[in-house]
Amino acid sequence: MIKDTSLGYEAAREREEAQVSRVLTWLSVAAVLCLVGIGAKAWHSDHTNHALTLWGFILPVLANMVWFARSGNRDVQKTGLLVVVSVLFTYLIASGGEGNTGPLWFYVFPPLLFFLTNLKTGTMILLLVYLVAVIVFQFPSLPFVLAEYENDFIIRFFVTLTFESIFCFVLEASRLKARNELLDLALTHEHAAKTDELTGLSNRRDILNRLSEEFSRHQRAGHHFSIVLIDLDLFKNINDQYGHNAGDAALKQFAKLVQSVIRQTDVAARWGGEEFLLLLPDTSLIPALTLAERLRSEVEQDRFSYHGEELPITMSAGVCSVAQVDSIETMLKQADAHLYSAKEAGRNRIIPRVRSYTADTQSEPNI
């Protein structure tokens, strides 16, 4: 079930990344409108160079939006927007903007930075931004610095920016912690909803969903798959003679044995009581019969025990391939009919019949 949990996390991250991309797209649109408006104001105030520079930043923002629309690369979208915003803020603090108010735009940077990156990366970039601000404030004679700031403004700027940065860091850390806790809780409930509590295998509801997905894949692309319906022979006698705790122990031991035999792509489920169902993707009838016979042989040879008492456990199984049927219902009925035939024929066997696993291993490869 680790694989399912990982897939759950991946799906959650994918949804979150998609949401971030949508937000960035709207932020980019807002940035373009803001640059147009502020540039127009600067133009009417006869700050021609400043207006043209602000309008010039519209081009890389639009280029980043077009690139993302064509490529769908979210990492490039984030990096591109961060670079444009960083250069814009550097220009604003170095030029002073209008009336030396350019540095005030820096207050937008910390929340945007932590939103686009993780806490570690955001903190490193923020420290780099601090370094740029210190250089501009302390060395006004540098060629690219066009503004001078009073010491009182510099002190207030750094104090308030530091407070905001710490506040944004704490909020983002709290958000991430709450998000991860909620995700863990959701995945725990999801796991419980599709897992048999006793054996740890998939439950009936989950395996039916997987069967439906596999059948849809077969209809779309023609991928074959097979199922194996298993019943532990005379299991009621185990419960009656040794007790239900012994029966539960046998079911758990059998589940572990099944998981050691099947492939990683296969799915084992507790179908109900002492019945189990195996879903074997990309498997035709003969390989499915071979796997079922191998499992039957392993069960027959394995030593099932409870509190030192050996439990007589064998299994019967019915196998069916999707090539033989036209629906999931028919497939399950066919496997059940084969299982019934196996029990009627004396149990501890597979139907359709297959040579013993020992003989098969000499001529057929393991699955």
CA distances for 282 relative to 118, 164, 225, 265, 287, angstroms: 40, 56, 5, 9, 10
User: ∠ at Cα 72 (70, 78), nearest 5°?
Assistant: 115
As a residue count, the chain comes to 367
Residues carrying an active site annotation: 274
Alpha-carbon gap, residue 292 to 313, rounded angstroms:
16
The answer to whether 119 touches 176, Cβ cutoff 8 Å, is yes
How many other C-beta atoms lie within 10 A of the C-beta of residue 148?
Answer: 11
The answer to whether 28 touches 61, Cβ cutoff 8 Å, is yes
Helices 109-116/2-44 angle, 10° precision: 150
* Of residues 144, 46, 36, the one with CA closest to residue 95: 144
The answer to whether 227 touches 320, Cβ cutoff 8 Å, is yes
Alpha-carbon gap, residue 95 to 92, rounded angstroms:
5
The answer to whether 354 touches 364, Cβ cutoff 8 Å, is no
Residue in the block written with tokens 């990309």? 282
CA distances for 269 relative to 8, 206, 239, 276, 334, angstroms: 19, 8, 21, 6, 18
